[in-house]
Chain A
Amino acid sequence: NAGVTQTPKFQVLKTGQSMTLQCAQDMNHNSMYWYRQDPGMGLRLIYYSASEGTTDKGEVPNGYNVSRLNKREFSLRLESAAPSQTSVYFCASRALSGAMGTGELFFGEGSRLTVL
């Protein structure tokens, strides 16, 4: 059982380049998330998708776009990378029962992005 799979695990970009981080989950979860983790900042929510066909901004959405391709897949795109986007990115999925917030997040192993 793979859980949440992210690709690539490592990427180095030059300022202004674009790239897409891919995420797929095999747990039949409705909700999917993208977080970034920076030292001393914890995890900050970039975007989330409560269900297939919907996406919403989180705390730090500027400079990013997302696509919920289907129930399994949720991608994060950097259109014009900046050094401030150097971070570790985590995809996560979550099962929610109605509007209850009791379900936990299941995380991928992370994608380390460096923007020069």
Chain B
Amino acid sequence: AQSVTQLGSHVSVSEGALVLLRCNYSSSVPPYLFWYVQYPNQGLQLLLKYTSAATLVKGINGFEAEFKKSETSFHLTKPSAHMSDAAEYFCAVSLSGAGSYQLTFGKGTKLSVIP
């Protein structure tokens, strides 16, 4: 079975500082990986996804993530935080083949941006 671990339930950064949100996965087969963002009282929106085409994936709002198989990681970064980035972020994993119907989520990281 696949699983995802997000390190840090809360992360605070200053406006303009680097954003780094950590995600490690566990999977017995090559995974597909996703980052979602959730703004208060809203549903989840896709930021970006890794589907084996390229290890560095660029998403919306200036976010990107790099798939590192050797580290089983898919960390989310943004060079310069903006106040509008304050939200909760979820990493998720899906498998190919028989396990492909289920998407398993991490517990989330709440990002605060300090002016």
Contact = CB atoms under 8 A, between A and B. Distances in A.
Contact of B107 (A40, A96, A99): A40
Contacts of A105: 34, 36, 44, 46, 92, 103
Given A40-B9, A107-B43, A96 B90 contact: no
Of the four ranges (under 10, 10 to 19, 20 to 34, 35 or more), the interface on chain B belongs to 20 to 34
Contacts of B49: 102, 104
Contact of A42 (B32, B96, B107): B107
B51 interface: yes
A78 B43 CA distance: 21
Contact of B100 (A42, A56, A96, A107): A96
A100 interface: yes
A115 interface: no
Interface string A25-60: 000000101010000111111001010000010100
Interface in B29-72: 32, 34, 36, 41-46, 49, 51
A101 B95 contact: yes
A48 B107 contact: no
Interface residues of A, number: 28
Contacts of A33: 103
Nearest to A49: B101
Interface in A66-116: 90, 92, 94, 96, 99-102, 104-105, 107-110
Given A100-B96, A101-B95, A101-B96, A31 B101 contact: yes
B94 interface: yes
Interface of A: 4, 31, 33, 35, 40-45, 48, 50, 56, 58, 90, 92, 94, 96, 99-102, 104-105, 107-110
10 contacts: A41-B107, A42-B105, A45-B103, A94-B103, A99-B97, A102-B49, A104-B34, A104-B46, A105-B46, A105-B92
Q: Which 4 residue pairs across A and B have the least CB separation, nearest first?
A: A101-B100, A107-B43, A101-B94, A42-B107
Interface of B: 9, 32, 34, 36, 41-46, 49, 51, 90, 92, 94-108
